[in-house]
A = this chain, B = another copy of it.
């Protein structure tokens, strides 16, 4: 199995919430799972760590990254900066075909939302933001935004409210309407509001480390 494929596989498992923040990634297990040598896995884990998707602890292996509150805020600030700045570019390049692609994507989002699979729903929602960058076509920006979306997935997994009610496809529909009107200022404003809404749907408060040591919990009794 190719190294790039293993990277993709683990990456999408994390972005798709099949691996939650904090989960340990044991080299031997992964090596056996993908039928490759342990060295391949080590190399992939290094790369993922460089992307802030996993965290490496010396002599103690890799875990799925658990973003700090500060990191979460910085990621969202970066998204606001870049995605809002992208608005004029999007309006500039968007043609009828682009609009059709965007609308098709929102329909897909609605389907995912009604499927009651939160991970799938979020994946579709994030795909919309990446798609906007893809329309502009700058691969550097696309790569940045992909990274930010992956990290957003981790952030959501770590800090999501229990009582979520996102409906981001509605916000996305509004964005499309501004693009169709070629209103870049309106698009920028709506994008800013949308991103602020997403962030405010989180509980960005540092929690105490999840205690796995049951003994210390029940010691009092």
CB distance from A49 to the nearest CB of B (A): 9
Query: With A82-B81, A85-B81 in contact, do A140 and B50 touch (Cβ < 8 Å)?
Result: no
Given contacts A81-B82, A82-B81, contact A74 B139 (CB under 8 A): yes
The answer to whether A24 has its CB under 8 Å from any CB of chain B is no
The answer on a CB contact under 8 Å between B81 and A89 is yes
Option from B82, B138, B148 in Cβ contact (under 8 Å) with A85: B82
Distance between A93 CB and nearest chain B CB, rounded to angstroms? 12
| 1/0 contact string of A125-162 vs chain B (CB within 8 Å) | 00000000000001111001000100000000000000
Q: Which residue of B lies closest to A46 (CB)?
A: B43
Q: Does A47 have its Cβ within 8 Å of any Cβ on chain B?
A: yes
A71 to B78, CA, bound (A): 22
B77, A81: Cβ atoms under 8 Å? no
Any chain B CB within 8 A of the CB of A190?
A: no
**Residue A41 CB within 8 A of the other chain:** no
Interface string of A79-122 (1 = CB under 8 A from B): 00110111001000000000000000000000000000000000
Q: In the complex this chain forms, how many copies of it are found?
A: 2
Query: Number of A residues whose C-beta is below 8 Å from B?
Result: 22
Q: Given the complex of chains A and B, what is the CA–CA distance between A46 and B4 in angstroms?
A: 12
Most buried by B among A47, A51, A81, A138: A81
When C-beta atoms are compared, the residue in chain B nearest to A75 turns out to be B140
Determine whether the beta carbon of A78 is less than 8 Å from that of B138: yes
Instruction: Please measure, in the bound complex, the distance between the C-alpha atom of A126 and the C-alpha atom of B51, giving whole angstroms.
Output: 23
CA distance A82 to B50 in the complex (A): 22
Enumerate chain B residues within 8 angstroms of A46, measured Cβ to Cβ: 43, 46-47
Q: What chain B residues lie within 8 Å of A138 (beta carbons)?
A: 74, 77-78, 81
A-B pairs, 9 with minimum CB distance: A85-B85, A78-B140, A74-B140, A74-B138, A81-B85, A77-B138, A78-B141, A47-B50, A74-B139
Ordered by A's residue number, 15 sampled pairs between the chains whose C-beta atoms are within 8 Å are: A43-B43, A46-B46, A46-B47, A47-B47, A71-B140, A74-B138, A74-B139, A75-B140, A77-B141, A78-B140, A78-B141, A78-B144, A81-B82, A81-B89, A140-B148
